[in-house]
Amino acid sequence: MSSISSPSVRGAQAAPGQGIGLYLAIGCLVAVLGFALPFVGLPKNLLALLTSASISAILATAVGFLVRQAGLSSFGHAAFYGGAAYAIALLVKYTSLPAEVVVLAAPLLIVGLGVVVSLILLRTNGIAFSMLSLAMAQAVYELVMKWRDLANGEDGLRIRFAREIFGLKLSFFQKADTMFLVTWAVLVVVIAILVLVSRSNFGTLTIAIKNNEERARFLGYRTLWPRVVILALSALIAALGGTLFALYNGYVTPSLLHWTLSGEALIIAIIGGTRSVWAPAVGAFVFVILRDVAGNYTTHWQSIVGLVLIAVVLTLPNGIGGALTAFTNRFGGRQNG
Amino acid sequence: MADGYMLEARGLTRRYAGFTALNNVSFALREGEIRGLIGSNGAGKSTCMDVLTGRGKNPIGTVRLGGEDISKLSQRERRAKGLSRSFQKTSIFPDLTIREQVRLAARNAELDNSEEVISELALSSIADRLASDVSYGDQRRVDLALALVGRPKLLLLDEPAAGLTVEESLSMARMLRDLSERWKLTVMLVEHDMEVIFAICDRLTVLHLGEVLTEGDPESVRSNPEVIRAYLGSSFA
Ligand SMILES: Nc1ncnc2c1ncn2[C@@H]1O[C@H](COP(=O)(O)OP(=O)(O)OP(=O)(O)O)[C@@H](O)[C@H]1O
Ligand SMILES: [Mg+2]
């Protein structure tokens, strides 16, 4: 009778779900403090760096969310990111649509594409998914490289935006001190929405499908479409990142579509950690700043970043985010929860 | 359900490339009955549950649940009709808390009795822990909870007590008996431990090499010479 009547309880461990208030408070604080950054006299190039980092953070969040909710490591998110940026460049070049329409339509176009692609991709899992996503994304890269008449091949395209977008001067989107506010706002909203999704019934279902698809099916659930929705959402967020990049930089090159960009986003997500929705974004800021600092001291910045990656993987199995969570739990008094 | 049978299975068959794992197996379970499905390793017990639930390719045979033919339905649709099962290997969701997954399992049922099931299965005190964080015995009860929640019409349990101590399996068995009486569950139970089988089953079906060797009440099965020869061995005679 013992095990039924007195289940073993191994130490008092806080339940996920308790102590959410603390995380919410920290999250709100960081979000609000971020908006103050352009007003505290930071050097221009640091703000520019932070703006790029926020855009990288959006892409890494997209990639990390797919790992977290679906267990899928994409090597092809550059196709969504660069795809949205190229969609903007091409729509501006070949149509006379207002810039506002172009900026809103491009990510939606990419999501539509993402849904179609996901119906093929999601027949696979694990390594097969990673390889197929890599192959499909590289096909887009090759197309842009080879079809010079379309998008100027490896030279890329300058995007001739109108002088005003959404009633704001173009320079608002192309100067770091103002654009940072936009990229930061998008990042904050994206993370907030993804946290809500991950905590919803739907989020629970997708974790269940990731853990044990067959049992989920036997509990009466369809298991393909929730994965499609997660992939489409992830694609949308990557596309938002690409849209912001296009707005900020005003040009596109094929490197935005290259698999190394997808790989970098995945590395960033892993450094940050994929247990929490927000962790890949933390990874992005660490990565971009580290790359910049390392680049100031040595031309071999890649090896420094590589060493840091190895150190993180070896010492922090759940990434920087996992370490931060453990730290917060310890000093937030959650262990007695 | 004119004839009072909750489950009628006829001609269940499964062939794997040249090998027949289950051959023309038929049986019927009355509402509220606990049926033991026994037989030696490889006899076809798990395969029988697979065919009943529509798992795997081309299940052959007809399955009627509460009088309704569900043979053509998918696994998902069968669950919606009230056919629930557990698997021989622990099959739970390690990254969800116990409460989250029991609720998830209840969402497709007509009745959400997840809190009731959590407390009946003595999972209340650990309900907010991740399933990967609890002991093996607790995980087996989580597995059972996923199958049990929503009060299915028919519950197929494939060795729910596998790997538990004798004491734990007997206590799980008693709990099953108790719940099946209170909730009017019809249960088909695969179990190797004869003590458990004899303690709670109303009737037994014995499989041998993919075919029904015999069926009857526990006493007559226990004394059936064929069963003794094929499965039980002389120690149970
Ligand atoms: N996918 C498969 N392909 C080929 N043969 C299979 C497959 N699955 C099961 N079998 C065979 O079918 C037979 C019945 O297997 P099954 O798992 O139903 O037995 P069981 O009665 O549940 O045994 P156990 O008590 O070991 O769980 C076995 O001989 C097994 O090797
Ligand atoms: Mg078996």
CB contact set of A40 (below 8 Å; sequence gap of 6+): none
The tokens for B210 are: 């993919």
Average pLDDT value over all residues in chain A: 88
pLDDT band at residue A293, thresholds of 50, 70 and 90?
confident
Please give the number of the atom of ligand 1 that sits closest to the Cα of B45: 21
Coil, strand, or helix at residue B14?
Answer: strand
Residues A199, A276 contacting (CB under 8 angstroms):
no
Q: Output the CA B26–ligand 1 centroid distance in Å.
A: 18
Category of B145 on φ-ψ map: left (φ > 0), alpha (ψ -120 to 50) or beta? alpha
Separation CA B103–CA B117 (nearest Å): 10
CB contact set of A193 (below 8 Å; sequence gap of 6+): none
What pLDDT, on the 0 to 100 scale, is given for residue B3?
65
CATH value at residue A225: 1.10.3470
* Mean pLDDT, rounded, for A232-249: 96
Taking alpha carbons only, the member of A201, A210, A213, A189 closest to residue A278 is A189
pLDDT 10s digits, A172-199: 899 989 999 999 999 999 999 999 999 9
What pLDDT, on the 0 to 100 scale, is given for residue A327?
86
The tally of domains found in chain A comes to 1
What pLDDT, on the 0 to 100 scale, is given for residue A19?
63
Is the pLDDT at A30 greater than 70, yes or no?
A: yes
Question: Hey, what long-range contacts does B229-235 have (CB within 8 A, 24 or more apart)?
Answer: B230/B40, B230/B206, B231/B38, B231/B39, B231/B40, B231/B43, B231/B206, B232/B194
Residues B50, B220 contacting (CB under 8 angstroms):
no
Question: With the C-alpha atoms ordered B90, B94, B98, B101, is the resulting torsion angle positive or negative?
Answer: negative
Question: With the C-alpha atoms ordered B198, B199, B204, B206, is the resulting torsion angle positive or negative?
Answer: negative
The region of weakest confidence among A48-57, B105-114, B133-142, B179-188 is B105-114
Separation CA A277–CA A273 (nearest Å): 9
CB contact set of B50 (below 8 Å; sequence gap of 6+): B14, B56, B59
What pLDDT, on the 0 to 100 scale, is given for residue B236?
52
The pTM (predicted TM-score) of the whole model is 0.87
- Chain A residue whose CA is closest to B175: A4
Residues A61, A236 contacting (CB under 8 angstroms):
no
Q: Which residues of A touch B103 (CB under 8 A)?
A: 204
Residues B60, B78 contacting (CB under 8 angstroms):
no
Interface contact A3-B121, CB threshold 8 A: no
Q: Output the CA B22–ligand 1 centroid distance in Å.
A: 9
| CATH classification (class only), B1-33+40-81+193-237 | alpha beta
pLDDT band at residue A11, thresholds of 50, 70 and 90?
very low
Is the pLDDT at B100 greater than 50, yes or no?
A: yes
Tokens 């002389």: give the residue. B234
Question: Is the CB of B16 within 6 Å of ligand 1?
Answer: yes
pLDDT 10s digits, B14-42: 998 889 999 999 999 999 999 999 998 99
What pLDDT, on the 0 to 100 scale, is given for residue B166?
87
What pLDDT, on the 0 to 100 scale, is given for residue A5?
35
CB contact set of A90 (below 8 Å; sequence gap of 6+): A150, A151, A157
Please give the number of the atom of ligand 1 that sits closest to the Cα of B44: 18
Identity of the residue in A15, A212, A222 whose CB atom sits nearest the CB atom of B91:
A212
Is the pLDDT at A3 greater than 80, yes or no?
A: no
What pLDDT, on the 0 to 100 scale, is given for residue B1?
55
Find the DSSP H helices in chain A: 2-5, 20-36, 44-70, 78-94, 99-121, 126-146, 148-151, 170-174, 176-199, 201-211, 213-218, 225-249, 259-272, 279-297, 301-315, 319-331
Separation CA B184–CA B31 (nearest Å): 7
Is the pLDDT at A50 greater than 90, yes or no?
A: yes
Q: Which residues surround ligand 2, an ion (CB under 5 A)?
A: B 45-46, 88
pLDDT band at residue A334, thresholds of 50, 70 and 90?
low
- Residue A36: how many other CB atoms lie within 10 Å: 8
Category of A76 on φ-ψ map: left (φ > 0), alpha (ψ -120 to 50) or beta? alpha
Question: Is the CB of B79 within 6 Å of ligand 1?
Answer: no
Taking alpha carbons only, the member of B129, A99, B111, B79 closest to residue A91 is A99
What interface predicted TM-score (ipTM) does this complex get? Answer: 0.87
Domain of residue A231, residue span: 7-332
* Whole-Å CA distances, B155 to A55, B26, B65, B78, B191: 51, 17, 11, 12, 14
Q: Output the CA B153–ligand 2 centroid distance in Å.
A: 22
Question: With the C-alpha atoms ordered A69, A72, A75, A79, is the resulting torsion angle positive or negative?
Answer: negative
Looking at the CA of B15, name the nearest ligand: 1
User: How far does the CA of residue B138 sit from the closest CA of chain A (Å)?
Assistant: 7
User: Highest mean pLDDT range out of A14-18, B86-90, B230-234?
Assistant: B86-90
Beta-ladder partners of B16: B19
What pLDDT, on the 0 to 100 scale, is given for residue A336?
40
* Mean pLDDT, rounded, for B75-97: 92
Is the pLDDT at A2 greater than 70, yes or no?
A: no
Interface contact B75-A218, CB threshold 8 A: yes
Separation CA B168–CA B189 (nearest Å): 16
How large a percentage of chain A has pLDDT more than 90?
A: 57
Interface with chain B: mutation pick from A218, A221, A275, A277, highest number of B CBs within 10 Å: A218
Identity of the residue in B75, B103, B126 whose CB atom sits nearest the CB atom of A7:
B126
Burial of B133 (0-12, 13-18, 19+ CB in 10 A): middle
Ligand 1 pocket: which of B13, B19, B197 to mutate (most atoms within 8 A of CB): B19
Strands B186-190 vs B154-158: parallel, antiparallel or unpaired: parallel
Interface with chain A: mutation pick from B100, B136, B143, highest number of A CBs within 10 Å: B100
Is the pLDDT at A74 greater than 50, yes or no?
A: yes
- Chain A residue whose CA is closest to B98: A15
Q: Output the CA B48–ligand 1 centroid distance in Å.
A: 10
Using CA positions, which residue lies closest to atom 4 of ligand 1? B16
Burial of A111 (0-12, 13-18, 19+ CB in 10 A): buried
Q: Output the CA B21–ligand 1 centroid distance in Å.
A: 7
How large a percentage of chain A has pLDDT more than 70?
A: 93
Category of B150 on φ-ψ map: left (φ > 0), alpha (ψ -120 to 50) or beta? left
* Mean pLDDT, rounded, for A314-318: 87
Question: Is the CB of B88 within 6 Å of ligand 1?
Answer: yes
Q: Flag whether A2 is in a domain.
A: no
Please give the number of the atom of ligand 1 that sits closest to the Cα of B16: 4
Q: Flag whether A1 is in a domain.
A: no
